């Protein structure tokens, strides 16, 4: 049987259309049934099998098969079916994400986040001047207490006290939003 397959592939490599017709007529139906078990859609199964034969013909000159004809065909269809199913899963996940973005829930999340950001900004801006400067240097510039103290010519203890004061004010101003702050911090 392998000898027969080898002869058929040699003929296909040379462009013999009768050889590809022979393979097609011999295996098409069983390959479609096999593919349909995976994809559960006969039209898609037929497309997969037809695509296999097109690829064999188009790449006939590079064709290098070391297995039985039947094994090669069924393994190729198997791989194509798995790729098709993987593509469907990716597409479905993408559609779910797109649909979520269109939902009121997503839009509400954006509105809540924007409102939260505005409240945080307003709360920071309402801090006493010295407290605000120290807090921004710490949180937005990433400076350490010692660096802030050196830059502002104050003690490290003053920096700690002012940051503590800022956090206390922010917690008070944003107490209604604390659960949301925790959620955004955990998931975003």
| pTM listed for this prediction | 0.49
116-163 tens-digit pLDDT: 778 888 888 999 999 999 999 988 888 899 999 999 999 999 999 999
21-51 tens-digit pLDDT: 999 999 999 999 999 999 999 999 999 999 9
Domains within the chain, CATH numbers bracketed = 2-101 (1.10.1740.10), 105-187 (1.10.10.10)
- Residues counted in the chain: 188
Contacts 24+ apart (CB under 8 A), 123-126: 123/169, 123/170, 123/173, 123/174, 124/166, 124/170, 126/169, 126/173
Contacts 24+ apart (CB under 8 A), 54-60: 56/12, 56/20, 56/23, 57/12, 57/20, 60/12, 60/13, 60/15, 60/20
64-87 tens-digit pLDDT: 777 788 899 999 999 999 999 998
Does 183 have pLDDT greater than 70?
no
96-106 tens-digit pLDDT: 766 655 555 55
CA distances from 182 to 67, 142, 178 (A): 59, 21, 6
For residue 129, the tally of other CB atoms under 10 A from its CB is 7
Per-residue burial over 28-65, b if 16 or more Cβ lie within 10 Å, else e, is beebbebbbebbeeeebbbbbbeebbeebeeebeeeeb
Does 20 have pLDDT greater than 60?
yes
pLDDT band at 187 (very low <50, low <70, confident <90, very high): very low
pLDDT band at 2 (very low <50, low <70, confident <90, very high): very low
| pLDDT for res 28 | 95
Helix (H) or strand (E) holding 126: none
| pLDDT for res 21 | 93
């Amino acid at each position: 049987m392998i000898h027969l397959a080898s002869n058929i592939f040699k003929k296909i490599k040379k462009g013999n259309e009768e050889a590809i017709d022979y393979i097609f007529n011999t295996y098409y139906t069983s390959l479609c049934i096999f593919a349909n078990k995976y994809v559960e859609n006969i039209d898609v199964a037929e497309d997969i099998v037809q695509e296999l034969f097109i690829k064999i013909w188009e790449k006939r000159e590079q064709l290098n098969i070391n297995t039985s004809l039947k094994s090669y065909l069924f393994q190729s269809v198997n791989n194509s079916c798995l790729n098709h199913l993987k593509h469907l899963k990716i597409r479905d996940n993408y559609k779910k994400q797109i649909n979520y973005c269109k939902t009121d829930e997503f839009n509400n999340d954006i509105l809540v986040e924007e409102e939260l950001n505005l409240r945080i900004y307003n709360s920071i801006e309402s801090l006493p001047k010295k407290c605000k400067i120290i807090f921004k240097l710490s949180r937005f510039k990433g400076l350490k207490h010692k660096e802030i103290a050196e830059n502002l010519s104050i003690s490290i203890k003053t920096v700690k006290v002012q940051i503590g004061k800022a956090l206390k004010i922010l917690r008070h101003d944003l107490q209604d939003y604390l659960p949301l702050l925790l959620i955004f911090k955990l998931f975003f």
